[in-house]
Amino acid sequence: MFNMDSVKIQKIQLFRDHLAVFEREQGLHKITVHRLPAEGEPLNCLEAVRSVSFIDPVYSVDSTESEFSSSVLRFRYSSLKTPPSVYDYDMDSDTSVVKKIDTVLGGFDASNYVTERKWVTAADGTQIPMSIVYNKNLAKLDGSDPCLLYGYGSYEISVSPYFKASRLSLLDRGFIYVIAHVRGGGEMGRQWYENGKLLKNKNTFTDFIACAEALIELKYCSKEKLCVEGRSAGGLLMGAVLNMRPDLFKVVVAGVPFVDALTTMLDPTISLTTSEWEEWGDPMKEEYYFYMKSYSPVVNVSILPLFDPRVMYSEPAQFVAKLREMKTDNLLLFKCELGAGHFSKSGRKKRTVLLWRKIRQKSAIWGFRFESDGYGGSTGSTYLSGERRYF
């Protein structure tokens, strides 16, 4: 991939008469189309630049197979409210035609949902984008709505705002769902990633906190109705932000959380440790040791597999034991999946069985979230009560 300050080129698709470039600009996917000169003529420059228009303010786009000799570019499209779709874009006439939209059962109507993009000012002045979706018939936007804020922010991985049918269960209970595109990810280019790793890793945490504070200030939710979630390195994010701002969140969900990064990175005999030094730093060097030690999480959450070479089950188990010794009236649930790895159970089982287990796992997490703080209730009637709880 070729990276510029404002544009990250992800893929190039060549046609006989056109060149299609899949990019990210300001964190959003973009497709630009250039006309190529006629056969036999020199290529002095790329002509007739066009950008494909999309229907949502935040979305996800990916390439798919197209005919080399055709003027039609086929691509896949999805957003937080638009199911996975296939479009044909005529590069000559600048028109798009939807060819297929995945069916969503249960009376789904995309017009019931609103997607938004908001920018948040981080502690150092950096602008952080957020992707937001909610059911316009249920969300009051007066600070009384429950909200789930998701974050990752590591390994230059971009968290794209794509459609997920299971998320409708939250939205149709009045939840507002938000993705914080914090530094350490790849949404805004290479420098966005560089500014969230090694000795700048804390930017990921402060970005996430800034997003949470902004959601409260903009009246998307309140502290007592804000739930946060992350997995793996996102689980480290969860532990770190709770350490920094334990007053800010009502419910925390973290899957296979990397909560004891310092100890793991000190042991080169553990699988993947030495390669991870490029992301977190080598704690056998003093500056990295004390920096990693300064953000070591104190909160562990949720579904932990026993056979995980990336995040040892002992990490959250140790934190749970410590939390249970020190906590007062907080509910803390530790669940260890005995037959799974970092990405859930093995693929040796049939796909339908794996899908059913995944649904059960997600249902358990969401059920705890609803029950622990009263998020549930009937559609359109959501509320919060009780003590702060961790999952």
Token code pair at residue 337: 């999946």
Residue reference for tokens 């990175």:
265
Rounded Cα distance, 139 and 147, in Å: 10
29 catalytically annotated: no
DSSP secondary structure code for residue 349 in this structure:
S
Alpha carbon separation from 15 to 37, 208, 317 (Å, rounded): 12, 41, 54
Q: 250-289 b/e with 16+ CB inside 10 Å = b?
A: bbbbbbbbbbbbbbbbeeeeeeebeebbebbbbbeeeebb
The catalytic position among 34, 63, 222, 342 is 342
Alpha carbon separation from 220 to 213, 228, 242, 301, 378 (Å, rounded): 10, 14, 20, 25, 20
Rounded Cα distance, 77 and 87, in Å: 7
- Collapsing DSSP to helix, strand or coil, 180 comes out as strand
Rounded Cα distance, 84 and 160, in Å: 13
Torsions phi, psi for 263 (to 5 deg): -65, -45
Q: In sequence order, what are the beta bridge partners of 223? A: none
- Collapsing DSSP to helix, strand or coil, 213 comes out as helix
The catalytic position among 56, 145, 308, 373 is 308
The catalytic position among 154, 232, 302, 372 is 232
CB 253 within 8 A of CB 177: no
Q: Where are the beta strands (DSSP E) in 42-90?
A: 47-51, 60-63, 72-78, 85-90
85 catalytically annotated: no
Q: Give DSSP secondary structure letters for 290-316.
A: HHHHHT------EEEESS-SSS-THHH
Rounded Cα distance, 65 and 48, in Å: 23
**How do the residues of the chain divide into helix, strand and coil, expressed in percent and rounded to 5?**
25, 30, 45
Amino acid identity at 81: K
342 catalytically annotated: yes
Active-site positions read: 232, 308, 342
